[in-house]
Structure 1
Amino acid sequence: MPTWVDGQRTDELAAADRGLNLGDGHFSTLRVSGGRIVAWPLHRQRLQHACGRLSMGQPDWTALQHTLDQALSHCDPAEAVIKVVITRGCQGRGYDPILDRPPTVIVSTFDYPKHYLNWQQHGVTLVTARLRLGAQPALAAMKTLGRLEQVLLRRELSQYSADDLLVLDNDGRVIEASAANLFLIRGQRLITPSLARCGVAGVMRHQLLRSAADHDWTLEVRDVARDELQHCDAAFMTNALMGAVPVIRIDDRPVPISPSISDIQRLLLC
C-alpha cells in the first residue's frame, strides 16, 4: 500500500528522524468508509492539540488535505485505513528539540481489519492484563509514537484465548483495552475512565462524550475501580476503526449486550 512523506510518494524516511530515534511524534489512525474519512475534523483537532502539547510545529494542513485526497484515491472506498504520523523531523542526535520547525508528515494506507465487522455484531471477550500502565500526566491521553507498553500488551494477549485485554494502571484503576477506550453502561449513564494519568483519548471517545447528551445519556468521566465491572449493565469499547464493539465477557463474568450499543454504533459512523 502506498506511503507519502511530506506529500511525496515514497517509502523512505531519513535515518536521523526523531520519530524513529526518540519516538518524538504522534499519530492518528483514520477509518475510510463509503469513500470518506470518518470524523476527520476530530482527527485533525487531535493532531493539532498534540502538536501544541509537544511544542511541535503545525503541519501545512492544506498540503496534508491534498495528500489525504491522494491516499483516498488508492483506498478501497468501502472500508480502508489511513494513518497520519507527525514527527519533529531531523534535528541532530541529542534530546533537546528545536521548537516550532515544520514537522515531518507521513501518510500511509492499509486494508481494513475485517474482524472488526464481526466484533461489532457478536462482541468481544476481555481478560485483565498483568502488565499495568505507568502514569505520566504530561503525555496522558495523547497518541504518541512511544507505544512499547501496547506492544508488550499484545504479546501478553497472545497467551490467552480472549479477544482483547482489560488494562489497569499501577494503582489498579481501570483505564482502557489494549487499543481501545472502554465504556460501562449503568441505566442511562455512560461511564468511562479518566485518562488524566495515562491511556489514549480516542476520537470515537471524544465524539461520544460530545454528543451523548443529545441522546439522553448522562456522562461520567472519572476513576473507575475494577470491582465496578461486576455491577455494570453492559460494556463496550471504541476506537476509530472498530467504532463501538460490545463486550460480552470480562474475565469470568458474562456481560449482556445492551440494545443501546446499536444506536451508539450508528452515531459513531456519522
Structure 2
Amino acid sequence: MRIIPSATPISSSDRAFNYGDGVFTTILVHNHKPELFLYHLSRLEHDATAIKLKIDTFALESAINQYIDTFAKTSSNAALSKYVLKVHISGGQAGRGYARSSDSEALVRLSNHPYPAHYDAMVTEGVSLICAQTRLAIQPMLAGVKHMNRLEQVLVKHEIDEAKFDDAIVCDTYDNVVEASAGNIFFYSNDRWYTPSLKGSGVNGVVRQCLIDSLLNDNQELQVGEYDLSHLHNARAVVITNALMGVMPVKQLRMPDFSVVNFEVQSCLIDALKTRLAKVKAT
C-alpha cells in the first residue's frame, strides 16, 4: 500500500480510473477529530478484503491522522474546523486488462472538501424524497461495500435533480427498499425501528452500523429485513443516515403514483437516534 499526495495526477493506468477497482469513504472531521473513525477504518478493511485488495489499516490510520494534523496547522480559516476528508483507495496501476498484476499495490489518496453546510438546516426541517425509478442490481459479493462503481447512484442523482427534491428512496430489482442516494434508511413502525438488510445491494454506512450496534447492545427493538414501499407508507417516522448528515429526518415521500406521505420530523424517536450517535462520537 502506498500513500499518494493528493496533488499527484491520476495515471491513465490507474485501476480505479479504468475499472472502478477500489473503495472509498468520506469522513466528517470536526474540530480536527475524525468522527466515527474506527467505523470508517473497519469498513475500509472489510471492503478492501471483499474486492481482494490488500491494505495496511495501521499505516492508513497513521496517514489519516498525520493529514488531519498537517491540515490543522496550515489552515487559518475557522470554517475548516469542520470539513470532509475523502479516503480513496485504488487497486493500483496495471496495463490493459481486468486482472491485477502480482506486483500491483493499493494506492491511497487523501483529499479535503467543504462540509455541506445546507445539511444543518435540513436536519431541523427534514427532507423530501421521491421514489427513484433506477433500481439497484443484486450482487451479494459486493453488497454493503462502498466500492467505486457508482453509476447507479449517478442515475439516481439525475432523477433527484430533475424532480427538484432533496433525495430519493432507491429499491433493488425485486422492489425491496435498499437505501437513499447516498445514505441508509431507518423507519419507525409498530413500536420499533426497521432498516433494510443490504444482503443483495447497497452500502453499509458507518452511521447505519453505529446505530445498529447501539440499539442491539441496549436490547432495543430493531428489525433488519426486506421491506417494500408499503412499509414506508405506514411508517410513523423515516430517517436517512450517513457520516456527513448524521441522522436526517424525512418529512415527506412522493410515492410512484405521485401521492405524498408525510412523517414526523421533530420527535423523541428521532432525537433518541441522534443522541445515540452523539454518544458514540464523543467516545
TM-score range, shorter chain: over 0.9
The answer to whether the Cα contact below 8 Å between 2:29 and 2:85 also exists between their aligned partners in 1 is yes
Specify the alignment match of 1:21 in structure 2. 18
**What is the CA-CA distance between 1:230 and the residue it aligns to?**
1.8
Specify the alignment match of 1:248 in structure 2. 251
Task: Give CA deviations for 1:168-188 in whole Å, capped at 9, x if unaligned.
Answer: 111111111111100001254
Specify the alignment match of 1:55 in structure 2. 52
Specify the alignment match of 2:94 in structure 1. 91
The answer to whether the Cα contact below 8 Å between 2:5 and 2:110 also exists between their aligned partners in 1 is no
**What is the CA-CA distance between 1:132 and the residue it aligns to?**
1.0
Matched AA of 2:261 = R
Superposition map of 1:81-230 within 5 A: 81-98=84-101, 101-215=104-218, 217-230=220-233
**What is the CA-CA distance between 1:64 and the residue it aligns to?**
4.6
> Which shows bigger deviation, 179-188 or 236-245?
179-188
Task: From 234, 238, 249, give the equivalent of 1:235.
Answer: 238
**What is the CA-CA distance between 1:200 and the residue it aligns to?**
0.7
The answer to whether the Cα contact below 8 Å between 2:6 and 2:110 also exists between their aligned partners in 1 is no
SS at match of 1:110: strand
**Structure 1 residue ranges, 4+ long, deviating more than 4 angstroms after superposition:** none
Specify the alignment match of 1:79 in structure 2. 82
> Which shows bigger deviation, 139-148 or 8-17?
8-17
* Identical counterparts, % of pairs: 32
The answer to whether the Cα contact below 8 Å between 2:93 and 2:104 also exists between their aligned partners in 1 is no
**What is the CA-CA distance between 1:267 and the residue it aligns to?**
2.4
Instruction: State the alpha-carbon separation in 2 of the partners of residues 98 and 166 from structure 1.
Output: 39
Q: Does 1:264 align with 2:267?
A: no
Task: Give CA deviations for 1:129-176 in whole Å, capped at 9, x if unaligned.
Answer: 111111111111100000011111111111113210111111111111
Query: 1:130/1:41 Cα in 2 relative to 1: closer, same or farther (>3 Å)?
Result: same
Structure whose residues are more often helix by fraction: 2
Task: Give CA deviations for 1:51-94 in whole Å, capped at 9, x if unaligned.
Answer: 11111111363255234432354265531100001111112211
TM (normalized to structure 2)? 0.88
The answer to whether the Cα contact below 8 Å between 2:139 and 2:201 also exists between their aligned partners in 1 is yes
Give 5+ residue unaligned stretches, structure 2.
73-78, 255-259
Query: 1:93/1:40 Cα in 2 relative to 1: closer, same or farther (>3 Å)?
Result: same
Instruction: State the alpha-carbon separation in 1 of the partners of residues 178 and 253 from structure 2.
Output: 14
Instruction: State the alpha-carbon separation in 1 of the partners of residues 103 and 138 from structure 2.
Output: 27
Instruction: State the alpha-carbon separation in 1 of the partners of residues 141 and 217 from structure 2.
Output: 32
Q: Does 1:42 align with 2:39?
A: yes
Instruction: State the alpha-carbon separation in 1 of the partners of residues 101 and 227 from structure 2.
Output: 39
> Which shows bigger deviation, 213-222 or 196-205?
213-222
* Matched pairs, number: 266
Matched AA of 1:163 = D
Matched AA of 2:179 = E
Task: From 60, 65, 70, give the equivalent of 2:67.
Answer: 70
Specify the alignment match of 1:30 in structure 2. 27
Instruction: State the alpha-carbon separation in 2 of the partners of residues 68 and 233 from structure 1.
Output: 41
> Which shows bigger deviation, 148-157 or 68-77?
68-77
Instruction: State the alpha-carbon separation in 1 of the partners of residues 109 and 116 from structure 2.
Output: 21
SS at match of 2:157: helix
